[in-house]
Amino acid sequence: EAGVAQSPRYKIIEKRQSVAFWCNPISGHATLYWYQQILGQGPKLLIQFQNNGVVDDSQLPKDRFSAERLKGVDSTLKIQPAKLEDSAVYLCASSTRGGEQFFGPGTRLTVL
């Protein structure tokens, strides 16, 4: 089966600019996760969706980060405006409810 798809794979922007990431989960997976992985650290959950509803966004910096999952399939994560400390790999994962999480290849963001 096709895996989780993410785009772009790499993005370089200047601070205070905006950026958006896209994720297409595995077909039939109702749960979608966005993680932030800063260099040298493990992934940290930013937001979890169940279908198109938010289950957990307690660690999402809501003053600059936003995410949506319209129609309960694809999802976008946006940062506006970006800061230097947002440089990281952004991972998308999907699962059936309570099932194993399958990860995408990630988007590497560099903020200059």
Query: What residues line the site for other proteins (CB under 8 A)?
Result: 3, 31, 33, 40-45, 48, 50, 55-56, 91, 95, 97-106
Give me the least distance between CB of 45 and other proteins, in Å please.
Answer: 6
Nearer to other proteins, 63 or 100 (CB): 100
Distance CA 73, CA 14 (A): 30
Q: Is residue 50 helix, strand or coil?
A: strand
Give me the least distance between CB of 10 and other proteins, in Å please.
Answer: 14
Distance CA 46, CA 33 (A): 8
Distance CA 16, CA 42 (A): 26
Nearer to other proteins, 32 or 82 (CB): 32
Nearer to other proteins, 82 or 107 (CB): 107
Give me the least distance between CB of 52 and other proteins, in Å please.
Answer: 16
Give me the least distance between CB of 73 and other proteins, in Å please.
Answer: 18
Phi, psi angles (nearest 5°) of residue 103: -100, 150
For residue 87, give every residue at least 6 positions away whose Cβ sits within 8 Å of its Cβ, in sequence order, or none: 38, 39, 109, 110, 111
Nearer to other proteins, 16 or 44 (CB): 44
